[in-house]
Structure 1
Amino acid sequence: MCFVLYTASAQDTLNISGMPESPEKRDLRVSLNADGSKFVQFILWNQVWVRHFENNPGTMVNDNPTNYTTDIALRRIRAIALLNLSPRYRFFVNLGIDNQTYNTGGGTGSGPTGMGKRADFYYHDAYNEYTLIPDKNQTSGEASNFTLNIGAGLHGWNGVSRMYNGNGITTLGIDIMPPSATTDLTDQFGRQLGMYVRGHWSNLSYRFAANKPFATNLIPQVGGPAVDNNSKGNLAYSSYLTYNFWERESQDVSVFSFNYLGSKKVLNIGSGFYTTANATMSQPSEGIFKNHAITILGADVFLDMPTGHRGAAFTTYISYYSYRLGPNYVRNIGLMNPGVPDPNFTGQRGFGAGNSQLIAGTGDVWYGQAGYLIPKVEYLPRLQPFVALFSRNFDAVNQSGNTYQAGVNFLIDHHRSKITFQFDSRPIYDDVSRRIFRRGKEFYLGAQLFF
């Protein structure tokens, strides 16, 4: 996800990383009046991945049984604009594509619009926001202890946790992990249509939203797990509160940084929720359907601080989630997954094809990550090794499972230009016993550039 930083000054600017910018940096900005208080500003962002990973047993890629996949993919390409019409009123739009590979992200079949080609270009964000109580008194210029902003449109001002509001540019690892339980089901890549309020009261930052989830209409099998079906059309409500012990993070943006590279000293705790009635459906006996609410609770802690000398820094994030999604609800996600089930496979089949793994389900999730920014060495890129753990315990399977991650960031120009290498080891569940019977290896090399 991308974001825009806004304050009430004529020198306001989009700030992607959330860190202080170099004095030499120049923005893509067009002033609309003489003093520059009204303007349009643009940002371009690109993430490219090279991948090699082990497919789950029973996978077919391009109609061929396939054990391993190697490819080059476009993870994110974005064009972002902020239209600042006054010190109080602004419009934010974020357009682009996601997840284009050689055989996914486009159409089907062959030809110029076929498999993997011409990925959909769509709005990620498109919302208006008005400042009711600004961060500075417009007459005296004194800082306000309480701020209030209201917005509406297609937005990502989500509840639950920092991870549910994660910034894809300033991740510690190669990507946001784990993704939200509802991603691309009842939301559009983490966004829903709705209204929100946000601001801060002293060191407490808050956000609340009331949204209309995108429609789902899956029909459950008799005696099977709950599936996504929100045909009754209930609203969804969400919130996330954070308390800032040290520096107060800017929360004029919809997403949070996970990696300040030692430019801030931040210690935050947070808690939030997402809830909507009649969001999933089960069929305990033939012809008898039951609706179930989705309730997600989250709590987390984030630490980022400089350590020692020569720009060294330590960052860590720990979060817990309680998922109540309906009886035995479970969801597999394979990011840019090239594989489908092989109908002719006769061996021990994995639960899900390709690189998919269990991401969400009724049960509990823990996630933690930590990284260390190595002290500066003149004329060399900064190095930042990191590790992460994603642990889940879902009712629909018979064994808890962990995904392990480790890697290193090569920071050429902070987050503005960086290369990330990452290794993942994910659990593969048997399709019948729902127990782990092997692990899948994944290797990633990612390159990011934005300006």
Structure 2
Amino acid sequence: MSMRKLRLAGALVVLLLSGNGVMAQQFKDGKLWLNEDGTNYFKMTLHSQFWIRNTEMNPGSTINGYPKNNFTDIGIRRARVQAFGQVADRVFLYSHFGINNFNYGADRKPSFFVHDITGEYEIVRKHLWLGTGLAGWNGLTRFSGPSTATIMGLDIPLFELTTFEATDQFLRKFSLYAKGKFGKFDYRVIMSNPMSVQKSNGYSAAISEISNFSPKPPKMQWHGYFQWQFLDQESNATPYATGTYLGSKRVFNIGAGFQYQPEAMWHKGAGSDTVTTDMRQFAVDAYYDAPVNKHTGTALSAYAAFVNLDYGPGYLRNLAVMNPANGTTMPNIINGSGNGYPTFGTGNVVYAQLGYKLKNNLIGTTTLMPYASVQHASYERLDKPMTFWDLGLNWLLKGHTSKLTFAYQNRPVFETRTPGANAQLTSHKGSYILQYQVFLN
């Protein structure tokens, strides 16, 4: 989008606000105030994350038919724009646009697409909001709705986006939701209309003994997340939970959630009968983020979750973030090509992440924040647990506004050596990633 178009868009917003009898009083704290006390406002944010990466490829990986064991690429992991605000008493508008995973192998001239567009009305002050639209409001866990601009490491726990790009659009669904607070109790309850699984990449309606999403017209999905916020209260204006506050708040929450969709899955049973099963998922998690020493600026951030995923017998699905490969000569490698690994599956998952922000002005006016995270999953079709870990260092040039992250990610490789048997753990592969983030909030 050209600078001229951006200016025109900004002028149009002001004209629309003025035309509705609402004249902005001032611009403060990144918000365009629509009344004198700022309770009605409009705001825009932008953030982008740029990667340069070296990847050890999964066995058999090819790029345009050429075998590759190792590959270096540069890409845009995320580029996002949010436009939202309390545009009238009791009325909240939220919109979110962007691109994801744009690298050398992607289609050229990508278009910003709609991530979210929702409207909400406050039924009972502070206690009950009702909203609808294409929404990132999800149940199950804290990071089923993550703020990607404030995450501690390179990525959120992606397995917590349990229907990611299968029956949703980058975790968003057409939803009707209720949210609110009662003191320290924060809740969200959602009814979603899953998107057609036939539109997901690589979907096949072929049925086997292994569970998969059913191609039948989907029934409504029900999900919710409930948490007790012991210390400082967090905002629930948008669906996206902060990754780390870098010591600016004292937060300790314990949460629990669920996700349920009747007859979401199917597989072939005894005698080749078609068996339809429900998708059931449950989770508990805890989040702590607080200063250690307010005087020096040190801070601790920690998160842990236990998640039970039931997609039906043997369900297993890979995820390959901004995959540098597009083919494989070894279909017996469960991971698929490039940097893929079994992210989702029927079984239990334990996840943990920990980070420590060092003192302010450690390097000039900047500081460092090392972190580590691990996903340890026991999935039905694997002979050993799937353990994916990530170790990194943030250089906080200006908090989340300007941040450089260097990380190493390690993933296991599983191979099917005997037909019908569980896949065997055969090796581990890694990726080195350097990310630069810019965030205008």
Report the TM range for the smaller structure's normalisation: 0.7 to 0.9
Contact 1:59 1:339 in 2 (8 A): yes
Asked whether the 8 Å contact 1:178–1:390 carries over to 2, the reply is no
Kindly indicate whether residue 313 of structure 2 is the aligned counterpart of residue 327 of structure 1.
Answer: yes
Q: Is the 8 A contact 1:222 1:285 kept in 2?
A: no
Counterpart in the other structure of 1:125: 116
Aligned Cα root-mean-square deviation (Å):
2.0
> What is the CA-CA distance between 1:177 and the residue it aligns to?
1.9
CA distance in 2, matches of 1:435, 1:406: 25
Tell me the TM-score normalised to structure 2 length: 0.87
Q: 3-state DSSP class of the match of 1:246?
A: coil
Task: For residues 17-47 of structure 1, give each alpha carbon's deviation from its aligned partner in whole angstroms, at most 9, with x where no partner exists.
Answer: xxxxxxxx96665555677655432222111
Contact 1:181–1:359 (CA under 8 A) maintained in structure 2: no
Matched, 1:261 2:232: no
Q: Hey, what does 2:435 align to over in structure 1? A: 446
Q: Which has the higher helix share?
A: 2
Distance 2:183 2:82 in 1: 30
Deviates more, 1:274-283 or 1:214-223: 214-223
**Equivalence for 1:94:** 96
Residues 118-168 of structure 1 deviation map (CA, whole Å, 9 limit, x = unaligned): 224210000001111223xxxxxxxxxxx1111000111110001212111
SS in 1 for 2:158: coil
Structure 1: 5+ residue runs without aligned partners? 1-24, 107-116, 136-146
Check if 1:225 corresponds to 2:227. no
Residue 352 of structure 2 is matched in structure 1 by 368
SS, match of residue 88 in structure 2: coil
Contact 1:319 1:367 in 2 (8 A): yes
Q: 1:314: which partner in 2? A: 300
- CA-CA distance at 1:221 after TM superposition: 4.7
Greater Cα shift, 220-229 or 210-219: 220-229
Deviates more, 1:221-230 or 1:403-412: 221-230
Letter aligned with residue 222 of structure 2: Y
CA deviation string 1:279-338 (max 9, x = no partner): 111123675322111111111011111113400011110001100001101001101112
1:215 matched to 2:206: no
Deviation at 1:204, TM superposition (A): 0.8
1:436 pairs with 2:425: yes
| Equivalent in the alignment of 1:40 | 42
The change in CA–CA distance for 1:359 and 1:34 in structure 2 (over 3 A counts) is same
TM-score (norm 1): 0.85
CA contact (8 A) 2:50 2:436 kept: yes
CA apart distance, 1:182 = 0.5
Quote the residue 1:111 is aligned against. none
Matches within 5 A, 1:63-102: 63-102=65-104
3-state SS of paired residue (1:403): strand
> Partners in 2 of 1:102 and 1:192 — Cα distance?
29
Q: Report the CA distance between 1:83 and its aligned residue.
A: 4.4
Q: Which amino acid aligns with 2:348?
A: D
Matched pairs, number: 403
Please list the CA deviations of residues 42-81 of structure 1 after superposition, one character each: whole Å capped at 9, or x if unmatched. 2221111111111110111122101112111111111211
Residue number in structure 2 paired with 1:16:
none
Structure 1 residues 342 and 98, CA, compared in 2 at 3 Å: closer, same or farther?
same
- How far the C-alpha of 1:349 sits from its partner, in A, is 4.1
The residue aligned with 1:427 is 412
Write the distance in 2 (CA, Å) between the matches of 1:35 and 1:400: 55
| 2-structure distance, mates of 1:250, 1:435 | 44
Mapped pair 1:239 → 2:220: no
Runs of 4+ in 1 over 3 A off after TM superposition: 25-40, 217-224, 348-351
Contact 1:27 1:41 in 2 (8 A): no
Task: Name 1:183's counterpart in structure 2.
Answer: 164
> Which residue number corresponds to residue 158 of structure 1?
138
Aligned with 2:153 (options 173, 179, 191): 173
Relative distance call for 1:119 and 1:431 in structure 2 (3 A) is farther
CA distance in 1 between counterparts of 2:360 and 2:383 reads 47
Deviation digits for residues 255-299 of structure 1 (CA, Å, limit 9, x no counterpart): 111211111111110000010011111123675322111111111
CA distance in 1, matches of 2:222, 2:270: 31
Alignment partner of 2:144: what SS? helix
- The 3 A distance-change label for structure 1 pair 418 and 285 is same
Kindly state the Cα deviation for residue 252 of structure 1 after the two structures are TM-superposed: 2.3
Give the distance between the partners of 1:84 and 1:271, measured in 2 at CA: 29
Name the aligned partner's letter for residue 154 of structure 1.
L
**For residues 428 and 136 of structure 2, what CA distance do their matches in structure 1 show?**
34
SS in 1 for 2:187: strand
Partner of 1:400: 385
Consecutive unaligned residues in structure 2, runs of 5 or more: 1-26
State how far apart, in whole Å, the 2-side matches of 1:265 and 1:81 are: 27
> After the TM superposition, which residues 48-63 of structure 1 pair with which residues of structure 2 at under 5 Å, given as runs?
48-63=50-65
Distance, in Å, in 1 between the alignment partners of 2:31 and 2:389 is: 42
* Paired position in structure 1 for 2:8: none
The one-letter amino acid paired with 1:199 is G
Given that 2:65 and 2:327 are in contact with CA atoms closer than 8 Å, whether structure 1 keeps it comes out as: no
From 332, 349, 352, the counterpart of 2:336: 352
**Shift of residue 191, structure 1, vs aligned partner:** 0.8
Task: Give, as a single letter, the amino acid of the residue that structure 2 aligns with 1:265.
Answer: R
Taking every aligned residue pair, what percent have the same amino acid on both sides? Answer: 28
Provide the secondary structure at the position in 2 that maps to 1:163: helix
The aligned amino acid for 2:150 is: T
Asked if the contact 1:215–1:229 (Cα under 8 Å) also holds between the matched residues in 2, the reply is: no
Cα deviation, 1:73-112, whole Å, max 9, x if unaligned, reads 11111121114331211211111111111002x2xxxxxx
